[in-house]
Amino acid sequence: MKYIQSDKNPQVKQWKKLLTRKERDKSGTYLVEGFHLVEEALVMKEDVEEIILSEKTEMPPGWDYGSIPVTVVTDEISRQLADTETTQGIFAVCSQPKQSITSGKTYLLIDSVQDPGNLGTMIRTADAAGLDAVIVGKGSVDIYNPKVLRSAQGSHFHLPVLSGDLTEWIDKLVAENIPVYGTALENGAVFTEAAAAESFALLVGNEGSGVNKELLAKTTQNLYIPIYGNSESLNVAVAAGILLYYLKTAK
Amino acid sequence: MKYIQSDKNPQVKQWKKLLTRKERDKSGTYLVEGFHLVEEALVMKEDVEEIILSEKTEMPPGWDYGSIPVTVVTDEISRQLADTETTQGIFAVCSQPKQSITSGKTYLLIDSVQDPGNLGTMIRTADAAGLDAVIVGKGSVDIYNPKVLRSAQGSHFHLPVLSGDLTEWIDKLVAENIPVYGTALENGAVFTEAAAAESFALLVGNEGSGVNKELLAKTTQNLYIPIYGNSESLNVAVAAGILLYYLKTAK
């Protein structure tokens, strides 16, 4: 095990850069933090490049990390790498998987969602609902943002989560006869009118402005969730949950 | 309009104390922040005791605040009262409504939810689903916490949101023949087996440990949402949304 004491060390500097989207995009890697997420990452060992451990943190007994290099750092460096206020002092550098989907039947498409908690919660919900993939369009928060990873609670390691061009994806899915359901506050059908289908894609959008109109124009059908009370709308992650579970369990 | 320049002013000190639950409980008042929430509060004028405005903020034209006193404060004081990083510089001190529910048919009961975003989102969802009241049990975050108010986006002013004893509420609702559905990860029925009913209460619980077992033992039936993928659970606010909309729209 290597031991690094100085935060001037080039490797430490490189890890810290992974807190920015720019460097994550450039390097094709990202940082996960905390026992739960590192443990989930280790299930996909080929994607874990290295483990970083605070000198105050013990590697949990029984973890099989094979030949993955482990570096021990000072508590101070550990805190510099952390996105949380009280870090557990364990991190993994992971490579961003090159994923391609050829035989998916159920998708969540996400357009311009800004809040990392919302994006992460939707990835977690898509995982729970057993979807085949999540496709995140341009204008959304980075899928490897630390808060997205935390809110998703490990679901990044359970199903493909891809950045992609939603226009192309909708064309492709419609061509494959997979119904694509947009979500809109108006000019749609009540969601409970959607026909049951083994395959579907659900398209949700920005917290304030909803799904881009050009994308909505390309969908098979647009759905809305009725508001029975006085709130103006639902939180996007709650709306995605209601619709995904409806589409999965509709008869 | 009064103008206060010193943050040593006793009124400023009292407002700042409203950032703590202790003082909110003691005074029976709370602070709302931002144009949207103050505007929503003004719909219920009798509950708004005063409005506080930063010297850098203009009162929106057309707002009808009647005889409610308005105090202008320095930008520095405004920032001290703010829970957000970039405050809009408008606040209202509201009295906590004394609400009693006698003829409700649909309820959301919340046990020990810790995250203010989750609690606020559930209040917003209960409003959207047209419920009659939200009852928040002991051990939950304060319903007048600034982040709860923000996540609820004004729904506190749309339906009764009460602190209450959940044991007593469940007994009362069951005695009124209102089915009370608990939520559990196991030992329940799949939610889609719940019978349609005009009246119901849904009971959701803590993010980590779920609903207290003693409460679950008192419900009419306990429900679970199937996990089709590999995530361990759903976010509690997403789960509440799925179940509330199922119960509202089930046939």
- Tell me the pLDDT band of B155, cut-offs 50, 70 and 90: very high
In chain A, what residues touch B242 (CB-CB under 8 Å)?
Answer: 241-242, 245
pLDDT tens, residue by residue, A166-190: 999 999 999 999 999 999 977 799 9
| CATH code of residue A218 | 3.40.1280.10
Which pair of tokens denotes residue B108?
Answer: 């959301």
> A28, A61, A95 — which closes off a domain?
A95
Which pair of tokens denotes residue A106?
Answer: 């159920």
Q: Is residue A6 part of a domain?
A: yes
Subunit contact A129:B229, Cβ cutoff 8 A: yes
Q: Hey, how many other C-beta atoms are within 10 angstroms of the C-beta on A146?
A: 22
Residues A128 and A228 in one domain: yes
Q: Is residue A158 part of a domain?
A: yes
Domain coverage including residue A245: 106-249
Residues A27 and A83 in one domain: yes
Phi-psi region of A66 (alpha: psi -120 to 50; beta: other; left: phi over 0): left
Chain A contact for B102 (CB, 8 A cutoff): no
Residues B81 and B13 in one domain: yes
Which pair of tokens denotes residue A19?
Answer: 């807190």
Farthest-apart Cα atoms in chain B, separation: 61
Q: How many domains does chain B have?
A: 2
Residue B20 has a pLDDT of 96
Q: Is residue A101 part of a domain?
A: no
Residues A112 and A198 in one domain: yes
Residue of chain B with shortest Cα separation from A190: B249
Tell me how far apart the alpha carbons of residues B224 and B188 are, in angstroms, rounded to a whole number. Answer: 6
Which pair of tokens denotes residue A158?
Answer: 């359970």
Average pLDDT, chain A: 95
Residues A128 and A89 in one domain: no
Q: Is residue B214 part of a domain?
A: yes
Which pair of tokens denotes residue A47?
Answer: 């994607």
- Tell me the pLDDT band of B102, cut-offs 50, 70 and 90: confident
Residue of chain A with shortest Cα separation from B158: A230
Chain A contact for B193 (CB, 8 A cutoff): no
Q: Is residue B73 part of a domain?
A: yes
Which among A161, A98, A100 has a CA at the least distance from the CA of A127? A161
Q: Is residue A120 part of a domain?
A: yes
ipTM of the complex: 0.94
pLDDT at A251 over 70: no
Residues A70 and A139 in one domain: no
Subunit contact A237:B235, Cβ cutoff 8 A: yes
Residue of chain B with shortest Cα separation from A129: B228
Residues B183 and B112 in one domain: yes
Chain A contact for B185 (CB, 8 A cutoff): no
Residues B218 and B138 in one domain: yes
> A31, A64, A95 — which closes off a domain?
A95
> B95, B118, B143 — which closes off a domain?
B95
pLDDT at A201 over 60: yes
Q: Is residue B100 part of a domain?
A: no
Q: Are A31 and A91 in contact (CB under 8 A)?
A: yes
pLDDT tens, residue by residue, A48-90: 999 999 999 999 999 999 999 999 999 999 999 999 899 999 9
Residues B128 and B241 in one domain: yes
Residues A78 and A137 in one domain: no
Could you tell me which residues come within 8 angstroms of residue A193 by beta carbon, excluding any fewer than 6 positions away?
Answer: A223
A/B interface, count of CB pairs below 8 Å = 108
Provide the pairing of β-strand A48-54 with A90-95. Answer: antiparallel
pTM for this prediction: 0.95
Q: Are A155 and A124 in contact (CB under 8 A)?
A: yes
Subunit contact B130:A242, Cβ cutoff 8 A: no
Residues A12 and A122 in one domain: no
Residue of chain A with shortest Cα separation from B154: A231
Q: Is residue A100 part of a domain?
A: no
| CATH code of residue A29 | 3.30.1330.30
Residues B27 and B51 in one domain: yes
